[in-house]
Each structure stands twice: as structure tokens, then as C-alpha cells.
Amino acid sequence: MSAGRFAPSPSGDLHVGNLRTALLAWLFARSTDRSFLMRVEDLDRVRPGAEERQLDDLRAIGLDWDGEVVRQSERLALYEDAIDRLTEAGRIYPCFCTRREILDAPSAPHVPPGSYPGTCRDLTEEERARRAVERPAALRLRADVAEWTVTDALHGEFTGVVDDLVLRRNDGVPAYNLAVVVDDGEQGIDQVVRGDDLLTSAPRQAYLASLLGHAQPEYAHVPLAINTANRRLAKRDGAVTRGELEERGVDVLRLIAASLGLEGTTALDLLDGFDPQALPRNPWTFVPPA
């Protein structure tokens, strides 16, 4: 199957920037005759009722999707299977580091800033046993490359850092990077459209996909919506949800379409003449209505 997707986290209501990204993911998929799938990433924070409100908002701007909504909380066995396969291949090791220890650890000359410095990579069994008494271990990937290159529809070739990323947190929850790669591979997702704040995650995820035998998807990392202070748009920025904007008489779909240089009164209208290369490359500064 050839498919794109949108994968919100049900931690709260979607704001207009989230809806803009969702619309773009839908347009990319539908304009290339792909299926469009909906996946709820509910392994972390879940606010009661948020999933239903998010799906209602997506329908309200004219988006549809193929098949049933998939939830990560219902797919734990798939993540554990991937961890088992990587363990058998010698690709996993336990990590006992706290966030503070990672931040304070001196980096080796070959380790890029912000990457995991490999503190627990080569611990002896005795050292692991001693650390295990102090705190539960996370599981990290034993990467054998330092970087990986992906191709993005808007950014071209992008080479980014690959380090020993966490696959399972020390509370037993599968990490985002593992879950998203397993889900995309298992669901046949070959087109990933999302905010460009995640561009630097793509090389790590593509490398992990290669280890699990999944094809590397086509990427399109789209510009974010920002507030007037040039910061990422958030709920604290005023009337930013569909419901709040419609209460003020705003046609949310037309607002988003205009920010993309598109015209139409329905999502289907926007498919006519949709050209990814004509999309804005800069963030969209959103000014809430008075």
C-alpha cells in the first residue's frame, strides 16, 4: 500500500497550525493518489475527550481518511517485537543515565553537540548490575553510523546526526522514535508530511527503519505556524483553535488556504492545482482575530 498519514497526540485541542499541517499532509497524499491514514499517538499524555475533538476538527475542515483510526496504545506488541529483533541482532543496550548526566557528560571529539555521548554503551556486566540497583534502565539503539541522509520534497537532501537513540524509556513505554518508525513501516506509510521542527529527527528514524527492514519514506517537512513573537504557535497565544476562531466569524479552512497561497471553499477545491513546490518556505505568522 502507498499511503500518507497524520498522527496527532491527544494531549489537547488542535490549534490552527496543527490543522494547517494536517491539511498539507492530506493534500500531499490525495494529490499523489495515496491512501490517507489517521493514527493517534497516545503513548504519553492523553487528555480525556481530546481525541474526539481533534477528529471532529479535522472532519470540520473537510479532511477524510481511509480505514479505521489506529492508536499506538493498541500496538504495543509490535513495538516489543521490534525491540526483540534488534536485541537479537545485538543492536540494543541498557542505559541508566539521567537527563542531567547526559547534559553534563563531556562529549568525545567525534560526538556532535546534543547527541548521546555513549556513556552506557560499553559498561561491563558488573557495572550494569550496580547501576540497575540505582534506577531502571532505558534501552538504546547501538548505532553503527554517525549520520544519515534523507530526501525531502521541500528541503532537498538533508544529512543529519544519528546517535544511540532511546527505544524504550525507563518507565517501560516505547519511545516516540521507535513507535513512529514501526507504525509507518507496518502501515505502509511511504510519505511523511509534518512540521519542519522534526526535520532533524528524520535521519535517525530513516536509519532505524533500515535496520528493521522498512523502506525509507518520502519526506516533506513543512513550515510551522508561529506567533507574533516569532515563537511556535501555542494555545496561550489566544484564539487559535477551530472552535474559538469560528466563534469570531473566521472561516478556518479559507484562512489556512490563504496562508498557503491556495484558493477554494472546500478541501477538495484545494486539490486543483496543488503544487508542493509553490508552497511557502517560511513560517506562517498567525495573528489571532480581535
> How high is the mean pLDDT in each 10-residue block of the chain (290 residues)?
95 96 98 98 93 98 97 98 98 93 67 80 95 95 96 97 96 97 98 97 98 97 95 88 95 96 95 93 91
Asked if residue 270 and residue 137 are part of one domain, the reply reads no
Asked if residue 213 and residue 99 are part of one domain, the reply reads yes
Residue 243 lies in a domain: yes
Residue 97 is part of which domain span? 75-222
Helix (DSSP H) and strand (DSSP E) numbers for the chain: 10, 12
Asked if residue 124 and residue 111 are part of one domain, the reply reads yes
Asked if residue 203 and residue 82 are part of one domain, the reply reads yes
249: left (phi over 0), alpha (psi -120 to 50) or beta: left
Asked if residue 275 and residue 181 are part of one domain, the reply reads no
Q: Which amino acid is at 135?
A: R
Looking at residue 183, what is its pLDDT?
98
Is residue 235 among the annotated active site residues? yes
Asked if residue 218 and residue 80 are part of one domain, the reply reads yes
Residue 290 lies in a domain: no
Q: Which DSSP state fits 66?
A: S
Asked if residue 134 and residue 205 are part of one domain, the reply reads yes
User: End of a domain among 199, 222, 245?
Assistant: 222
* Tally of domains in the chain: 2
The residue annotated as part of the active site, out of 235, 246, 273, 285, is 235
User: End of a domain among 177, 204, 222?
Assistant: 222
pTM, 2 dp: 0.94
